[in-house]
Amino acid sequence: MNILIFFVVLITSSFGAEQNGSCNKVVEDELLDLKITKQLDIRISGKKWDQNLNNIIQSNIRDVISDNPKTNKVRPLSDIDVRNAASEEPNVVEWNSEIERKSIINQLDSITSKLKNIQNVCQKSNSEAPLINNIGNVDVYNNEICKRAVGMSKPQFCELLEEDIINKNVPRSCKEIQEKGQNKSGIYEIQPKSSLRPIWVLCDMDTKGGGWVVVQKRFDGSEDFDRNWRDYKFGFGNLNRELWIGLENMYHFTGFEVSELLVEITDRDKIKAYAHYKGFGIGSETEGYALSVLKGFSGDAGDSLKGHYNCKFTTKDLDQDKHGNNCAVLFNSGWWFNACHVSNLNGKYINMQPPTGYSYQGLHWLEFRGHAYGHAGSRMLVRPVQP
């Protein structure tokens, strides 16, 4: 499986021709010692560089990547406007192996360290020394990717970045965050009591009392929900866009304490309806993530989950439904299929009247608009029930 990494190193400068030579020397020493991977696109921007320093940086970086035409993207400093460089889109680098991934992370640390050393020496030697910006922003940028991306949509380097926070003391739920005075909906870090590590989630602090974790969200069809078991287990999507939080996370949210579920459905006319369950929970993976707790329904959307009670979760590569065929294949999504369904919020994003012969396709909730209707959006939200 290809892993995507976004990586940019930007060096900006206000060097003049009278630049102190000691700074040139430290730049040369550090860059000669720095072994930049051939899979990184190093982007350098500058303004009024000393020509010797210009040549040193370009030649050293070009030496280590010029034999790879795919990533030979070093550009002359004179070709880049420093004012616009930071706003340019980063390139995407792909690799396949664990060894390569760890190598990238190690080189990221090395690059950051050496560039900071260059900065320190140059600042001491010249009042007009280079201002090396965005070094700290590399970590910030990567952390933002890790925070918003869900499950299998995360680049693998996120696991390394998260290792340092495994034991961090964080709230157990969005409800706990709300009780501590945070009333703004947004992205927060929580750690359910049964989970070994924290997770970034989208908290809804506004709907029906707030304190909800958004575990499923669809509104524009930008995310493909025709996924395999692993994707549905660990989750996918983006907290700022469409998402599936992951069955394993959902199990930790609901499998160890009494929880409630709120389903929000939006039809094609932007009319919303709700289904609320006072009790909701799913089993572990060994139990097929079965919909094991479902009780106390209320709401104007009708109860279209009751037909899925005690059903295991099915995906296109793991058939656990009660149909002769695989319902996930028939309806292009993973769900707690029975044989097959009266609801499927993960179905194809159609946002229209399904064509003849395609009833039960689309984002579907039988009790709200019938079986021949593809809804425009849905959300599933969970929170612990107050004792």
Please tell me the pTM assigned to this model: 0.64
Asked whether residue 212 falls in the same domain as residue 280, the answer is yes
Give the CATH number for residue 239.
3.90.215.10
CB 130 within 8 A of CB 122: yes
pLDDT digits (tens, 9 = 90+) for 158-206: 654 444 455 568 999 999 999 999 999 999 999 998 888 899 999 999 9
If one counts the domains in the chain, the total is 2
> Can you give the pLDDT at residue 356?
67
Return mean pLDDT, the chain: 74
Asked whether residue 223 falls in the same domain as residue 306, the answer is yes
284 is a domain residue: yes
> Can you give the pLDDT at residue 328?
97
pLDDT digits (tens, 9 = 90+) for 48-60: 344 555 555 555 4
> Can you give the pLDDT at residue 117?
64
Asked whether residue 135 falls in the same domain as residue 200, the answer is no
Percent of the chain with pLDDT over 70: 55
Asked whether residue 370 falls in the same domain as residue 241, the answer is yes
Range of the domain at 279: 172-384
159 is a domain residue: no
| pLDDT tier at 155, thresholds 50, 70, 90 | low
> Can you give the pLDDT at residue 196?
84
Asked whether residue 132 falls in the same domain as residue 208, the answer is no
pLDDT digits (tens, 9 = 90+) for 322-379: 999 999 999 999 999 999 999 999 999 987 666 666 667 889 899 999 888 889 999 9
| pLDDT tier at 252, thresholds 50, 70, 90 | very high
Strands (E), 178-268: 186-190, 199-204, 212-218, 236-237, 243-244, 259-266
CB 270 within 8 A of CB 376: yes
256 is a domain residue: yes
> Can you give the pLDDT at residue 108?
58
Asked whether residue 108 falls in the same domain as residue 195, the answer is no
CB 33 within 8 A of CB 109: no
> Can you give the pLDDT at residue 4?
36
Please state which of the ranges 15-29, 69-83, 289-303, 349-363 shows the lowest mean pLDDT: 69-83
The residue among 133, 148, 163 that closes a domain is 148
Return d(Cα 68, Cα 330) in angstroms, integer: 44
> Can you give the pLDDT at residue 360?
77
Asked whether residue 138 falls in the same domain as residue 176, the answer is no
Q: Span 6-26, mean pLDDT?
A: 44
Q: Which long-range contacts (CB under 8 A, 24 or more apart) does 327-332 make?
A: 331/360, 331/361, 332/225, 332/226, 332/361
Asked whether residue 196 falls in the same domain as residue 289, the answer is yes
Asked whether residue 76 falls in the same domain as residue 212, the answer is no
DSSP 19-65: --HHHHHHHHHHHHH----TT-------SS--HHHHHHHHHHHHHHH
> Can you give the pLDDT at residue 291?
98
164 is a domain residue: no
Asked whether residue 121 falls in the same domain as residue 12, the answer is yes
127 is a domain residue: yes
Asked whether residue 231 falls in the same domain as residue 378, the answer is yes
Asked whether residue 104 falls in the same domain as residue 241, the answer is no
167 is a domain residue: no
Listed in sequence order, the residues at least 6 apart from 364 whose beta carbon sits closer than 8 Å to its beta carbon are 341, 343, 344, 345, 347, 371, 373, 374, 375
137 is a domain residue: yes
100 is a domain residue: yes
Report DSSP state, residue 162. H
In the predicted model, is pLDDT for residue 12 greater than 50?
A: no
Phi then psi dihedrals of residue 259, to 5 deg: -130, 160
